[in-house]
Structure formats: structure tokens, C-alpha cells
A and B are shown apart, each in its own frame.
Chain A
Amino acid sequence: MKLALTGNPNSGKTTLFNAITGKIEKVGNWAGVTIDKKEADIKKSLNTTEGRIIAIDLPGAYSMSPFTSEESITRDFIKNENPDVIINIVDATNISRSLFFTTQLLELGIPMVVALNKSDLNKKKKTIINLEALSKELGCPVVETTSTEVTNNGLELLISKVLETKGTSQIPPFSSKNVDLKDKKSVEASDKERFVLVNKIVKSVENRRVSSNKQTKQDAADRILAHKWLGIPIFIMIMWMVFSISQTYVGPLVADVFVSLIDGFYVFVEGLLGNDVSPVLSSLLLDGIIGGVGAVVGFLPLIMVLFFLLALLEDCGYMARVAVVMDRFFKRVGLSGKSIIPMVIGTGCAIPGIMSTRTIKNERQRRTTAMLTPFMPCGAKLPVIALFAGVFFNDAAWVGTTMYFLAILIIIIGALIVVTITGERNARSYFIMELPEYKFPSLKRAAMSMFSRAKAFIIKASTIILLCNAVIQIMQSFDWKFQVVAEGAQNSSILASIASPFAIILIPLGFGAWQLAAAAITGFIAKENVVGTLAVVYSITNFIDTEELTLVAGGSDVASIMGLTSAAALAYLVFNLFTPPCFAAIGAMNAEMENKVWLWSGIGFQLGMGYVAAFLTYQIGTLLTTKAVGTGFIPGFIAVVIMIGFVIFLMKKGDRKAKKKLAYSS
């Protein structure tokens, strides 16, 4: 038996899907989280039949006439795949908006049950919905549900109604059979009639204590949090607090226990090996595998705390307000307001962020967003940020916060460049986003999000990062004749000879050492590799001081081993964060852009942007701290001028194109 879950965006479909199947699909307190259909068997405890009941979670839709690609998925599935029953999830707090789609679904002739979700919020607001009357008006069963609750959530009743409804016929309250779909006026007239019917139904079944046109506390909060000017400093302050808690206070405290375990294991294995084992094998196992992986995994508690806090922010509805605040800037540079959603998702991992750009209808906006989303610091980049903030900036929370806002600035500049080059500077976009209600965030959901990220991090560390560190250690231990490199003569190793040519290009950025170049290169496989490789090439077992609860053991010692000034360290961080993402994310860019010219231009742009940003950071930083420019200024300056000159040339060309277009259209 096939059970389709449909409803408006942010009505709680995926939460209900997770509740009836026991899965842990990504949920979010805003519209557009689900972009593809997902299916799973419902829980045995809910299935009273002998056969399988497969639930299919569909992306949110406002109507059966799709506007976005994910709405098409919903429409096509319901029309072509013949589900046995539809569960229409209706947001109980806003039935007037939801019933338009409900009445359209009822016309399809597929048995349907309405799940009046988020009923708990209605109880709080003292809004009463007459279920019997609503069921009579719609001609289908209506069940109150609260999918976030573990007990008394109405799910058992919902599934029993589904089983009763299967194979029955229902009479729709509205029919548009005689409407000529090719005639716009006729469709509009039919839609108006449908709205009249919906309003009539709502009036007869809903009893609200708080009128929707009355100003509520939520509106008052929105006036501050989503304010066009106040919204930005509030966002900065919140992000700073998130970084302070995760990287200065709670994170290192949790890391203490964790790093002690890693340290203990290292010492235990070291003791087991004794002095009989070959130094090459010993360092491969201890420094390459245990040390390299341990250095990355040591940051896990900090990342877990950060993801927990970000999940709370998302769940309480704040991130949707950030989207509104940022929209003002984004639409001025030709991006869609919807571009913000992939970027926020990209703070977790760039790949799902890039994939979610498919909700953007305009091709240029979709490709631009896919190109710019990887600039947002993802979870994999957090250990790199934490390491450099700890070693060079005394665990300062401003480093992480600055990186996020620098990413936003780079995205805005990047979007402006792309929109000018493509000659679409005059194009305007409009963004309407339904703001979810503020709610107390679910600690359980935040914990689940945190643990799933932690699991992913450990799997990645014990697979890709482990293999990379082992390869790096081997390449560092041998020369091209496969002779073991003598202690202190690593400059003749395979790794040094490969990384050295790249290191030359990086001299104007302040970090021309082959070790740093090697770490930056391995970062393209997975960004966490930067930390792992640095640990291997500099033989640093772990970066976290368990005694002083600070991020880095003897930060100044590590800094002196790396031989970087603060300006160069910040430039290295900027370079690693704003050059192209890992290969998997580049693959995702390729899939979403569907155009090789866009893909390669995007990678070139990311490389250029990372290089220019790192050059400016190092040279300006050095100028401010030493009153002189840094090493390699002249060749770096020439390279940067050529890059900027080329971009300006393309922008001028695009501007001419735009003017021509405007002249033709007028």
C-alpha cells in the first residue's frame, strides 16, 4: 500500500514522516527543506495489516499547478504513481492557506485523510477547529496530529483512518472539471471561486481567539529580529555567541575528556610498539594514522556543540528571519531570495546546500547560487577555523564569526560580478517567504542533528581522512627512489617535491612552505584534511590542551613550528575557506549547473577569489602590523591585478550586452 504525504511547505510533512516511519530525515522550521521524495515503510507498531505500508514524503506544494521543480515532483507523483491513500498534512494554525491545495487534491479522486498537524500550537492559542464540521465540509476524515510529540500524537488514529479510507470514494467540495486550463481568465475565475469556498469553510469551522490581523508578540519580535538595520547586528551578535560557546567555553570543556582518550590510546600503542619496530612503520601508525586522525577527531566536541546550537537556532525559527534580513542585499545583486536557503544549509555541508539550489527556477540564479554556496564555511571547515583561531588568535570567537560574514561579503561580491558578466544586471527578483512561527526549539531534534553530524564526522575521519593521512605520511617518509628520508631531510621527500611548486605560487599570500601547500591540496579531498595533514607534516599529535582547557596545546609553539605570522595565518585560513570546495561538492556543482562552461568558470572564480582574498588579508595585515608589505608583494600584486582586470573586462562586456538588451526591449 502506497501512502503519499502531501501538504503546504513547512506544514510538518517530514516530521510526520519521521514519526510514522522512525526515520531521521532532515527537518527544518521553514519552507523548502524537502526537495525530493523519500519513502520508507511505516513502523510495525502502527501497521495493523499483514502487508507493507510505504509512506512517501513529498516536497511541499501550494497548488497542483507547480511553480517550482519540487512542486512538480509532488504533482507528478500524485498524478502518475497512483498512491492508494493521500495524507494531506494541513497546518492547523493556518488552515485558510492550506485548504486551497486540499480542495485540489480532493478533486483527484484518490482517497484522502487530512492530518491537522501542529494542533498543540492551536491549543496554546486557544483556537478551536470543529473537526466534525471540517470533515463534513471536505468530505474526508480529519484527524488532529502533533507529530513532534511521542505520545498522544494522533498518529495511531491517523493510520487507522487511512486503512478505513483505502478503496473508498469521496465527493470533492469543489470541482474544476469544466475549466479550460488553457484559458488564463477561466483558471483565475475558478481559483477565485475556490478561495471563496475555502474562506466559507474556514469561517464555519474555526473559532480564533487571536485574530490573524492583530499584532502578536511574534510580530513584535519580528519587527526587531527581521528589521532591515537591527537584524544585521543581532545576527552578528548571535553568531559570535554561538562561536564563543562552542569554541571558547563548552566545546573545549567537552573536548577535554575526548582528547584524553585519544592521547591515552596514542601512548598505549606507542608502548606496545616499543623500540623494536621500524621507525617508518612506527611513525606511519602513530603519527600518520592515530595522530593524523586524532588531530581531526579532537575537534569533534567543538563541532557537535556548534551544530547543536545552529540546530536550535533553526528550529526556533530564527534562521528564516535571517533569510529575510539577507534578502535585501541578495536581490540587489541579482540573486533570488531563495538563494539564502542553500547557503544556510551549506553551513552544515556544501553538498546538500548546492543540491537544494534546484528549488530556484531562474537558471542563472540557480547556477550562481550553486557556484557561491560553497563559500559558506561548512562543518568540514570548522576544525580549520578552530585550529587557527586557537593557535594564532587565542581562541578568539571573532575569527569564526568574521569568516561567516566574510563569506557573505564574498557571496555578494561574487553575485554582483556574475550578474554583470551575464548581462542581467537589470533583472529583478521577488522573494516571498512564509515565516514559520517562533517556538521553543526541540532539544531532542537538535541532539539528533548533532549526533548524526558527529557520526558523519567520525566515519569521514576513519575512512577518507585516515587514508589521506597514511598516504601523506608515506609520501613524506620516502623519496622518489623509495629510500627512507633521513630525519630532518623531509625536503627531499616525494610530498615536498610535489607540493613545492605550488608553494612558490603561495609566497605572496604569506605561506610559501611546502607543508602548508600540501595541507591545502589535501583539503580538496576533504577540508578536514587540512588539519590532519598539518598534524602529520609537523608531527603534532593533538592540537587541544587538556590541562588548560584551551584549544591548542602550546599555541605559540605550534605557531612557531608552522613559521607563520598572524597575518599569514589568517590569510591561510581565508585561502582554505574560500578556494574551491572538496571534490564531492564540485561534483554536486556539476550536477546542478548542467553546463561545463559554468562549472569551470565557477571553479576558476573560486580559485581566483580565494587567492585574491588571501593576498589582501596577508598584505594588508602585514602592512598594518609591520608598516611594510609582506614577501612576494610585487609578483602577487601583478597576478591579482591581472585577475581583477580580466573580471572587469568581462563585466564591461556584460554591461554592454545588458545595455543592448535594454535598448532592444525599449
Chain B
Amino acid sequence: MTNIIVIIVIIAILAGASAKIFSEKKKGAKCVGCPYSQVSNSSGCSCDSPKS
């Protein structure tokens, strides 16, 4: 029983981390966690913007 709980906890942690990466990628961020990835620009951070 304890093993099952631990497995569930580990899966939840890994799923949470994966979900965060996918949501950041979906928003257009190339670099997950980039301090400028979620401000003001619809296309993500300045480093993610398409080249003009």
C-alpha cells in the first residue's frame, strides 16, 4: 500500500513538471522559466519573438 502511495506521489510530481513544461511551450516560450517569457508580448519573451 505504501509503495502505491509513493508511486502516485512520484507520478504526480513528474506529471506536474511535464504539464508546466508543456504549458510554457504552448505559450511560445523556448526557454522554460525564462524571466521574460510571459510579459507583454503576445509571442512570448523577446528572445522568442519571430525575427523581424
Contact (Cβ within 8 A) A459 B20: yes
- Give chain B interface residues in 7-26, CB to chain A under 8 Å: 7, 9-10, 13-14, 17-18, 20-21, 24
A290's nearest neighbour on chain B, judged by CB, is: B13
- B3's partner among A34, A278, A355, A459 (CB-CB below 8 A) is A278
CB-based contact B47/A38 at 8 Å: no
Residue of B10, B17, B24 with most chain A CB atoms under a 10 A cut-off: B17
Residue of B nearest to A57 (CB): B40
Interface residues on B, range: 20 to 34
State A231–B20 Cα separation when bound (angstroms).
Answer: 45
* Chain B contacts for A452, CB-based, 8 A: 35-36
How far in angstroms is the closest Cβ of chain A from B22? 10
Contact mask A68-110 → B, CB, 8 Å, 1/0?
0110110010000000000000000000000000000000000
A250 CA to B34 CA in the complex, in Å?
Answer: 25
Q: Which residue of B lies closest to A461 (CB)?
A: B33
Q: In angstroms, how far is the closest chain B Cβ from the Cβ of A289?
A: 6
Q: Is A355 within 8 A of B47, CB to CB?
A: yes
Query: A25 to B39, Cβ gap below 8 A?
Result: yes
CB distance from B13 to the nearest CB of A (A): 6
Which residues of B are found within 8 Å of A34, using beta-carbon distances? Answer: 46
Q: Which residues of B contact A221 (CB under 8 A)?
A: none
Instruction: Identify which of B17, B20, B40, B51 contacts A38 (C-beta below 8 A).
Output: B40
| Contact residues, A31-48 vs B (CB, 8 A) | 34-36, 38-40
Given known contacts A36-B52, A463-B17, A352 and B46 CB-to-CB distance under 8 angstroms? yes
C-alpha gap A460/B32 in the complex (Å): 6
A349 contact set on B, CB distance < 8 A: 31, 34
Q: Which residues of A contact B (CB under 8 A)?
A: 21, 23-26, 34-36, 38-40, 57, 69-70, 72-73, 76, 273-274, 276-278, 281-282, 284-285, 289, 349, 351-352, 354-355, 358, 452-453, 455-460, 462-464, 466-467, 470, 584, 587-588, 591-592
Given contacts A281-B7, A459-B20, contact A591 B33 (CB under 8 A): no
> A456 CA to B33 CA in the complex, in Å?
4
A23 and B52 in contact (CB under 8 A), knowing A277-B6, A455-B33?
no
Give the top 9 A-B pairs by smallest Cβ distance, nearest first: A459-B33, A452-B35, A40-B40, A460-B33, A456-B33, A355-B47, A352-B47, A456-B35, A276-B2
Q: How far is the CA of A113 from the CA of B33 in the complex (A)?
A: 37
Query: Given the known A-B contacts A36-B46, A281-B3, A470-B14, are A24 and B21 also in contact in the complex, defined by CB atoms under 8 Å?
Result: no
Kindly state the separation between the CA atoms of A26 and B36 in the bound complex, as whole angstroms.
7
* Nearest neighbor of A459 in chain B, beta-carbon distance: B33
Q: Is A351 a contact partner of B30 (Cβ separation < 8 A)?
A: yes
Tell whether, in the assembled complex, residue B20 and residue A462 are in contact, meaning their CB atoms are under 8 Å apart.
Answer: yes
A2–B45 alpha-carbon span in the complex (Å) = 21
Task: Say whether A23 contacts B40, CB under 8 Å.
Answer: yes
Could you say which of A39, A281, A591 contacts B6, with CB atoms under 8 Å apart?
A281
Of all chain A residues, the one with the shortest Cβ separation from B23 is: A463
B33 near A457 with CB under 8 A, answer yes
Question: Can you name 13 A-B pairs with beta carbons within 8 Å?
Answer: A23-B40, A34-B46, A36-B41, A36-B52, A38-B39, A39-B41, A277-B3, A285-B6, A355-B46, A358-B51, A452-B36, A464-B33, A467-B14
Most chain B C-beta atoms within 10 Å of own C-beta, residue among A38, A40, A285, A467: A38
Contact B10 A289 (CB under 8 A): yes
**Nearest Cβ on chain B to A232's Cβ, whole angstroms:** 30
Across the two chains, which residue of chain B brings its CB closest to A40? B40
CA distance A131 to B18 in the complex (A): 56
Nearest to B7 among chain A residues (CB) is A281
Nearest A-chain residue to B43, judged by Cβ: A36
- If the complex has contacts A277-B2, A455-B35, are A588 and B30 also in contact, measured as CB distance less than 8 A? yes
Q: How far is the CA of A285 from the CA of B9 in the complex (A)?
A: 9
Q: A26-B46, A456-B34, A460-B33 given as contacts; is B40 within 8 A of A281 (CB)?
A: no
Shortest Cβ distance from B21 into chain A, in angstroms? 5
In the complex, how many angstroms separate the beta carbon of B7 from the nearest chain A beta carbon? 7
> CA separation between A282 and B20, bound complex, in Å?
24
User: What is the chain A residue whose CB lies nearest that of B9?
Assistant: A285
Asked if B40 contacts A463 (CB within 8 A), the reply is no
Q: Chain B: which residue is nearest A453 at the CB level?
A: B35
Chain B residues with CB under 8 A of A458: 33
In the bound complex, what is the Cα–Cα distance between A458 and B13 (angstroms)?
Answer: 15
Note all chain A residues with C-beta closer than 8 A to B32: 459-460, 463-464
Contact of A591 among B41, B46, B51 (CB under 8 A): B51
Q: Cβ of A460: which chain B residues have Cβ within 8 Å of it?
A: 32-33
- Among residues of A, the one whose C-beta sits closest to the C-beta of B21 is A463
Closest to B30 in A: A584
Given contacts A25-B39, A35-B46, contact A284 B33 (CB under 8 A): no
Within 8 Å CB of B31, what residues of A?
349, 351, 584
Q: Which chain A positions have C-beta within 8 A of B3?
A: 276-278, 281
